[in-house]
Amino acid sequence: MLGQMIRDSGTAPAARRKASSRGAVRIAPPAPRASIRSRLGKPSLDGLGGRLQSLLWPLLLVALGMGLYELGTRLMPLADRPVALITVEGELEYIDHDAVQLVIKPYLHESFLGIDLDGLHADLLAMPWVADASVRRVWPDKLVIDLDEQLPIARWGDQALLNNEGKAFAPQDISRFAQLPQLDGPERAKRRVMRHYQQFSSLLRPQGMVVSKLELRDRGSWFLTTEDGMEVLLGRDNLVEKMQRFMTIEQMLLQDRRELIARVDLRYSNGMAVAWREPVETTESGE
């Protein structure tokens, strides 16, 4: 029994080792807990740099603005000097140079940068003979004025002239333009009258006739007078067609007797009426 006990005691450790090798359960030691500092996180250098940049940029911009302002304040007296020279350019035939000088004179006391270019431009455009104007600065102390002159095409009534766009302007003296054709009509119809004048002139000129007067009356009727005194009554409608009809008949039948025609009435739909001049009576001198 003692031997049996010894055998049992001799074999028990081996059995326990085998059992532990086959079915052992290893328990890992518990992980150390994170410290409070690791849970909160370490301070980020990138985040700190971003906050510094967000604070520095406004300061840099303010400093730059103040520097530019200070620089401009110091340079302004050097740049804004008095205007030393004003030149007037353009092909001028009718514009009075003395009148231009009077317009410019109030602006001569202003500085190069302080001069009111818009005001000077408006005053120049208010001159009757100025169709367009431009004013520009030329560094460091020069002004250049470029003027476009009105192109008179016809007289408008007795007091004004019309340019090639049908716009009226009123110089002080239009007596020297008496050779221009006289156009007349309601104030609102200037451009319309000018347009028809140009159409009629282009039709009559190839046949040696010149428009001396064109009038649009209050009821809408048109009256034309040629340079040799022939009157043409056009009525209200289809003016160009009526004029073309007259030119065709005049070239075929009336060209040789044009100087005898006093008036042509084109107010008919398919024809025209001709009034002849009174024959000039001749007297024979006798002894």
Q: Are residues 163 and 271 in the same domain?
A: yes
* 156-187 pLDDT, tens digit each: 999 999 998 899 999 988 999 999 999 999 99
**What is the CATH number for 134?**
3.10.20.310
Q: What mean pLDDT comes out for the span 192-204?
A: 95
Number of domains, the chain: 2
Q: Are residues 142 and 156 in the same domain?
A: no
What residue numbers bound the domain in which 165 lies? 152-276
Radius of gyration of the chain (CA): 51
Q: Are residues 162 and 266 in the same domain?
A: yes
Q: What mean pLDDT comes out for the span 104-131?
A: 93
Whether residue 27 is contained in a domain is answered as no
Q: Are residues 131 and 162 in the same domain?
A: no
* Contacts of residue 203, Cβ cutoff 8 Å, sequence gap at least 6: 240, 243, 244, 247
Maximum CA extent, the chain:
207
Residue 282 DSSP label: -
Q: Are residues 205 and 131 in the same domain?
A: no
Q: What mean pLDDT comes out for the span 258-285?
A: 81
CB atoms within 10 A of CB 286: 4
Last-in-domain residue among 130, 149, 168 = 149
Whether residue 287 is contained in a domain is answered as no
- Cβ neighbourhood burial of 233 (10 Å; 0-12, 13-18, 19+): middle
Whether residue 225 is contained in a domain is answered as yes
Phi, psi of 155 (to 5 degrees): -90, 145
Last-in-domain residue among 94, 115, 149 = 149
CA–CA gap between residue 116 and residue 156 (Å, rounded): 34
Q: Are residues 124 and 140 in the same domain?
A: yes
pLDDT of residue 46: 59
pTM higher than the cut 0.75: no
Tokens of 198: 């140009």
Q: Are residues 216 and 265 in the same domain?
A: yes
In the structure, what pLDDT confidence band is assigned to residue 67 with cuts at 50, 70 and 90? Answer: confident
Last-in-domain residue among 149, 173, 201 = 149
Q: Are residues 101 and 170 in the same domain?
A: no
CB atoms within 10 A of CB 259: 9
Whether residue 220 is contained in a domain is answered as yes
